[in-house]
Amino acid sequence: MLERIRHRGPDGIGHRQVGATWLGHTRLAIVDLEEGDQPIGSGEGHWLVANGEIYNHEDIRAETSYPFVTDSDSEVALAAVLSDNPAALGDLRGMFAFIVAGDDGEAVVVRDPVGVKPLYWAHVGGVVYFASEVNAFDEGIREHIREFPPGYRWDHTGSLSRFRDLHVPADLIGSRDEAVKLIRETTIDCVRRRMMADVPVGVFLSGGLDSSLVAAIMADAAPAHTIHSFAAGTASSSDLAAARAVAEHVGTIHHELIYTADDVVRVLPAVVGCIESYEPSLVRSAVPNYLLSQMTAQTVKVVLTGEGADELFAGYDHFREITDHEALRDALVEGISGLHNLNLQRADRVTMAHGLEARVPFLDRDLVNLAARIPIEWKLPGEYGQEKALLREAFDGWLPHELLWRPKEQFGDGSGTADVMRDKALSLVPDEGWSTERVAGLPRPRSREELAYQRMFADHLAGVSPELLGRFATA
């Protein structure tokens, strides 16, 4: 199992038998490079393996008497599990999935409330298996794999309980000016929090609003010309041109990848297997991100992305079609709650496939909760008919007007890959009779393109339970 996810942690590998539990870990070294190898022990028989980052680990260290033995952010997760404070797990701020096991047979498994970091499990023959990717599990038990739910805690007794809700109810903000101010201040804090690392940090810069704002905040917080930005697209890509302009304006060290139709065709099957999904829109956006991650990993180990802003501030075109305010509010909550097996799954897999960690500041719990306090009518298109008007207003002056108010494009479209991928997919599926074809164990394909991706998916992950894959049926 460890070998199958070696790409996620190219910097080290560790394992340990702890009572009845076997722990294994592949490490991507980002914090405490010298002493942060895992499993990490408590000194009293408990050991931890963790995936992700806990951004407030220094604050937690200052507030607890736990005898830390490393400077690793992951060790505060071990301290939280062993704490007498029932709220300790909820105090962890970041993206994480971790397991703590003890010599006495105890075991605790936890996943962050948004589900930024992946976790799967399978109960087979009295044994419970956990892993960060579906591919890690032996083929013989794939039919038993389920996704571990975000925001939940499980222990060796079989108890599964929610330790923190994603959305915390609060009063609506009464003033639009106050909302704009809070959006600006909170977004800046969330981006800066995710710049925590002992290695260089960069940003995926598509040229769209969300990543451009992240790049501007990072550049403002760091010494001049020390932040690396990365963009990818075909030679005629509108994203590339916009990203170039943003990078020049904010002062990042900019890197571009110009790829061809042949490059897209070459990596497409590997990308479908990598993201563990065959959903067409996800695949289209994953290919340029996969190629981009491959280039980026040669320079930095950590990148910030703009994931989540569209769900917080009604950025997608289909939100415009919802006229009832309560229905739109429900759609936004559903969008955030479902990101863990759509956009976040793609972002995790394409980056970690190359030993690169993606961080998502717009999905910080402070920003998620702030967005829930904003009256829904303020999230509708503003003066220029543009989505995410509040977010644009909040950063007036941070970007040139034409970039701040640039219309949104889907990444696969703006990067110039969507048409190439559709043509490739359609060339693999006959014009007639495709709708009657089935790939064993998978739902009915909704298009010729999806059928092509299903075939590629089955080549990598045959035997996975339809129950696990049902989430794609309405994606």
Q: pLDDT, tens digit, for every residue of 133-160?
A: 999 999 999 999 999 999 999 999 999 9
Please report, for the chain, the start and end positions of each structural domain, with discontinuous segments joined by +: 3-162, 176-472
Fold of the 176-472 domain? Rossmann fold (3.40.50)
Q: Which residue has the higher pLDDT, 228 or 470?
A: 228
CATH entry 3.40.50.300 includes domain 3-162: no
Q: Is the pLDDT of residue 270 over 90?
A: yes
> Is the Cβ–Cβ distance between 414 and 208 less than 8 Å?
yes
The pLDDT of residue 471 is above 70: no
* Single-letter amino acid, residue 56: N
Express each pLDDT in 72-81 by its tens digit: 999 999 999 9
For the segment 217-225, the average pLDDT, to the nearest whole number, is: 94
pLDDT of 317 strictly over 90: no
> What tens digit of pLDDT does each residue of 166-179 get?
877 789 999 999 99
**Res. 278: pLDDT tops 80:** yes
- Average pLDDT of the segment spanning 192-217: 96
pLDDT tens-digit map of 107-133: 999 999 999 999 999 999 999 999 999
- Percent of the chain residues past pLDDT 90, beyond the cut: 76
Q: Which of 46-50, 129-133, 264-268, 421-425 has the lowest mean pLDDT?
A: 421-425
Question: Matching CATH topology for 3-162 and 176-472?
Answer: no
**What is the structure's pLDDT at 414?**
54
pLDDT for residue 415 is more than 80: no
Q: Which residue positions form the known binding site for L-glutamine?
A: 73
Q: How far apart are CA 452 and CA 426, in angstroms?
A: 7
Tell me the binding residues.
73
User: What tokens were used for 250?
Assistant: 């904010």
- What backbone torsions phi and psi does residue 240 show, to the nearest 5 degrees? -60, -45
Question: Is the pLDDT confidence value at 412 over 70?
Answer: no
- Give CA–CA dist 330/342, Å, rounded: 18
Residue 384 reports pLDDT greater than 60:
no
Q: How confident is the model at residue 411 (pLDDT cuts 50, 70, 90)?
A: low
Residue 466: which pLDDT band, with cuts at 50, 70 and 90?
low
Backbone angles phi, psi at 280, to 5 degrees: -55, -45
Lowest average pLDDT, out of 47-61, 281-295, 415-429, goes to 415-429
**pLDDT reading at 473 higher than 60:** no
pLDDT at 474 over 50: no
If pLDDT is split at 50, 70 and 90, which confidence band does 287 have?
very high
Averaged pLDDT, 338-352:
95
Give the mean pLDDT of the chain.
91
